[in-house]
Amino acid sequence: MQRRNLMKLAAATGGAALTGPALAACSASSGGSSDGELLLWTHSAGNEEELAVTDQIIDTFNSRQDAYTVKRESFPQGAYNDSVNAAALSGDLPDLLDVDGPNVPNWAWAGHLQPLDLPSELTDKFLPTALGVFQDQLYSVGHWEAACSIFARESVLEAANVRIPTMDEPWGREEFDEILQRLVTDGGYQWAIDFSTADIGEWYPYAYSPFLQSFGGDLIDRSSYLTAEGALNGDAAVEWGRWFQGMFTGGLSNMESPAGAEDFNQGAAALAFNGNWGALAAIDLYDDMLFLPPPDFGDGPKIGGGSWQWAVSAGADPAGANSWMETALSDEFVAEFANLTGLIPATESAADLTEHYRTDGDLRMMMDYSRAYAVLRPETPAYTVIASVFTKYAGDIIHGGDVAEALDAAVSEIDADIESNSGYGF
Amino acid sequence: MTTTALKHPAPARRLWVYLPMTILAGFFLFPIVFMVAASLKTDHQIFADMDSLRAFLPVGDVSFANYAAVFDRVPFWRFLGNTLFVTFMVTALGLVVNSMCGYALARMKWKGRGLVFGFIIATLILPFDTTIVPMVYLVANLPWIGFDGFRPVLEIGWLNSYHVQIVPFIVNAFTIFLFAQYFKSLPKGLEEAAAMDGAGWLRTYWRIIVPLSKPVFATVTILMVVTSPATWNAYLWPLMTVQSEELRPVMVGVQYFFQLDTSWGEVMAYISMITIPMVAVFIAFQRSFIQSIAGAGMKD
């Protein structure tokens, strides 16, 4: 293997210590069985609903034709990326696999994936954030999308005399700050808003970086994808950092709030910033739930975009794999995933087939938020490092660290990684 | 101070000894007590009790529902069987191989013995995490003799198998060190007497040394079961080398419970189920374990 490919593999595995002569001949991809068997990996182990639909798709595909047989192997989500990277290292990748949206550019760049060959009339109807694109080529398509919103109770807002925001008229920064203060001082809540800060990991860039983008900053300069300078440590970013830090140091939000908006569920927090996957449980808990649009901090309301998507490994038989993708991406299965998991269907036509997301569905607004506000995490192979660096320094900011210093340090680490990987192809 | 006073200290003195020990024991027990208590509660109850002593008590909305749910989410008996099998094989083979290696290094005189011992000890400074990636690549390309029915076939690659979880972890530098240190403490006269009776090295090892070394065998058993990256706590290695659910161990199973909407009660129930066997092993071997660890640093 050439040095350049080794570097890609190292970057794809999150910078693990991959250098050394033992790796000198390794292959980064495999797949491609000659007997018509296609091996599929999914991150859904332990998730009965997702596995049930995946098995339905496989059964349908296997029964419709004789040339290929798909077999499934499931992995737990927390261990999935490591398993895929290890398989790439040992040349043991499956033919079909799912991939978290923000990882698509990294895996495509590392040579794990091949571009999809699907008809545009099929892919055009999917939400843009459900498509994994890297350097103008489509590598993955997802059945669903996720969206964050402000979880609130109508009775609580009415009691505090708070205006209920709409997509046409979301809360602005000053109004939002004043509401949070009022909910703590007058509403009798321990915390004004629950950010689930204990959910260390992808939640940080997914949930918190859209606030940064609404302030006018970003995780990286998307005009070049070669530096985070100015985007992550410019005036707008520093302003975001100070505002965000004030949430915690000012006593409006719990620095150590449990994952899954438990402060809100327990009645300790008046509001929560949470994903749509927690919506049905919240409706079960409170009969006056509202899912409100995020505030506009200057550059419009923003939320994170991009969830799990299906992709084809570099060594797979393209005909068989793309044929499976066409079967899998039918509205029937898109709707089935949404019905069983509560996640947002990735096509409008499938939404009409669902209970929660059809035009008059009780979670329809989540689909609207996704369409209107979703920002993809940066479509660059550097994202895996950007995500871990942002998580680290956002944690420092939450715990009272110097905002400008933290953001400068984050920029420095991200730029160093990009430079050491020769710009990741940009 | 008299010997009697040491054996039976005054009540006040006893209090000063036992009070801090009890408090310390409480600190160490808290996580386990919390784990078991939480495993009986709903998620809502767990978080509601979190800021009080109720977190450590099985009170409120308690049931065994989380334990029942564990069996719906993971193939528990399959995972447990895999872990027991791999743990047994690594430990049993490890006891034989490492004790013989330790014996050869401690009691047999041969050229280069010190150097070899030094090399083995030097490997202790390399954390497993730094060697795991080259190891994955290595085992992915190693040959193995498999069977197609009764016909032996040469296979390339150990991935996705039991042997990839067992073979690389049989030899363990730290346990070789422990065996060697313990064997050094045994009287040389025993071997000399055995030699005079015509016993060779192997017979001396098996008939004289092994029966006298039960404490170190017990210690190494516990250490291999608990601390080896391939036995009870195996996580990273099987994660990277085993793709089939049929071959997965219990620790990888923990990840099955972390979903977008994690059920913490189920997490605690599963962890309780995989912790209890380990606690039982420790209790069964604790006397030998403490004795041998205390003696491991001494030699004659």
Tens-place pLDDT, residues A182-208? 999 988 899 999 999 999 889 999 999
Residues B146 and B217 in one domain: yes
Of A171-175, A183-187, B19-23, the range with the highest mean pLDDT is: A171-175
pLDDT score recorded for residue A189: 94
Average of per-residue pLDDT values in chain A = 91
**Do the beta carbons of residue A310 and residue A379 sit within 8 Å?**
no
A86/B72 CB distance under 8 A: no
As a whole number of angstroms, the distance between CA A364 and CA A357 comes to 4
Mean pLDDT of B155-164: 92
Task: Give the per-residue pLDDT at B7.
Answer: 60
Contact A82 B240 (CB under 8 A): yes
How many domains does chain A contain in total?
A: 2
For A232-268, write each residue's pLDDT tens digit: 999 999 999 999 999 999 999 999 999 999 999 999 9
In terms of residue numbers, what domain contains B41?
A: 1-63
Same domain as A251, residue A152: yes
Q: Are residues B216 and B101 part of one domain?
A: yes
Q: What single letter denotes the amino acid at residue A326? A: E
Asked whether residue A109 falls in the same domain as residue A179, the answer is no
pLDDT in tens, B176-189: 999 999 999 888 88
Q: Kindly state whether residues B181 and B284 are assigned to the same domain.
A: yes
Summarize pLDDT for B129-153 with one digit per residue, the tens: 888 889 998 999 999 998 888 899 9
pLDDT (tens digit, 9 = 90+) per residue, B94-140? 999 999 999 999 988 899 999 999 999 999 888 888 888 899 989 99
Same domain, B59 and B78: no
Domain boundaries, position A40: 3-146+306-374
Is residue B261 in some structural domain?
no
d(CA B281, CA B225): 9
- Indicate the pLDDT class of residue B226, thresholds 50, 70 and 90: confident
Name the more confident of A248 and B284: A248
Quick one: A70 and A163 in the same domain?
A: no
Taking an 8 Å Cβ-Cβ cutoff, which residues of chain B contact chain A? 43-44, 47-48, 72-74, 130, 133-134, 136-138, 140, 157, 159-160, 236, 239-241, 243-245, 252-253, 255-262
**Claim to verify: residue A124 and residue A156 sit in the same structural domain:** no
Q: Is residue B158 located within the same domain as residue B117? A: yes
Over residues A53-80, the mean pLDDT reads: 95
Whether residues A138 and A50 fall in one domain = yes
Which CATH number does the domain housing residue B114 bear? Answer: 1.10.3720.10
B60 CB neighbours in chain A (<8 A) are none
Predicted confidence at residue B299, as pLDDT, reads 45
The answer to the question of residue B153 being in a domain is yes
Kindly report, residue by residue over A290-327, the tens digit of the pLDDT: 999 999 999 999 999 999 999 999 999 999 999 999 99
Instruction: Choose among A91, A198, A48, A83: nearest CA to B252.
Output: A83
Residue B190 has pLDDT above 70, yes or no: yes
Tell me, yes or no, whether A8 and A86 share the same domain: yes
Number of domains in chain B: 2
Which three-class secondary structure string do you get for chain B?
Answer: CCHHHHHCCCHHHHHHHHHHHHHHHHHHHHHHHHHHHHHCECHHHHHHHCCCHHHHCCCCCECCHHHHHHHHHCCHHHHHHHHHHHHHHHHHHHHHHHHHHHHHHHHCCCCCHHHHHHHHHHHHHCCHHHHHHHHHHHHHCCEEEEEECCEEEEEECCCCCCHHHHHHHCCCHHHHHHHHHHHHCCCHHHHHHHHHCCCCHHHHHHHHHHHHCHHHHHHHHHHHHHHCCCCCCCCHHHHHHCCCHHHCCHHHHHHHHCCCCCCHHHHHHHHHHHHHHHHHHHHHHHHHHHHHHHHHCCCC
Residues A394 and A362 in one domain: no
Q: Does residue A15 sit in the same domain as residue A79?
A: yes
Instruction: For residue B2, give how far its alpha carbon lies from the nearest alpha carbon of chain A (Å).
Output: 54
| pLDDT the model gives residue B215 | 84
By Cβ distance, the residue of B134, B258, B261 closest to A278 is B261
- Could you report the per-residue pLDDT of A10-30, keeping only the tens digit for each? 455 444 333 333 333 333 345
CA distance linking residue A84 with residue B234, whole number of Å: 18
Q: Are residues B78 and B120 in the same domain?
A: yes
> Which pLDDT score, from 0 to 100, does residue A27 have?
37
Chain-chain contact of B243 with A260 (C-beta, under 8 angstroms): no
- Considering the domain architecture, whether residues A337 and A204 belong to the same structural domain is answered as no
**CB contact at 8 A, A165 and A353:** no
| Residue B264 maps to a domain | no
Does ipTM come in above 0.85? no
- Does residue A275 share a domain with residue A198? yes
Query: B28, B63, B98 — which closes off a domain?
Result: B63
Within this chain, do residues B143 and B289 fall inside the same structural domain, yes or no? yes
Would you say residue B7 lies in a domain?
A: yes
B108 and B210 assigned to the same domain? yes
Instruction: Kindly report, residue by residue over A358-385, the tens digit of the pLDDT.
Output: 999 999 999 999 999 999 999 999 999 9
B15 and B154 together in one domain: no
Q: Are B87 and B43 in a shared domain?
A: no
**Does residue B131 sit in the same domain as residue B8?**
no
Q: Looking at B10, B37, B63, which one is the last position of a domain?
A: B63
Contacts of A77 in chain B (CB under 8 A): 255, 258-259
Please check whether residues A16 and A128 belong to one and the same domain. Answer: yes
Residue of B137, B239, B259 lying closest to A47 (CB–CB):
B259
pLDDT at A130: 95
pLDDT (tens digit, 9 = 90+) per residue, A131-170?
Answer: 999 999 999 999 999 999 999 999 999 999 999 999 999 9
CA distance A307 to chain B (A): 12
Please check whether residues A205 and A290 belong to one and the same domain.
yes
> What average pLDDT does this structure show over A83-110?
92
CB < 8 Å to A78, chain B: 255, 258
Q: Which CATH number does the domain housing residue A184 bear?
A: 3.40.190.10
- Claim to verify: residue B58 and residue B79 sit in the same structural domain: no
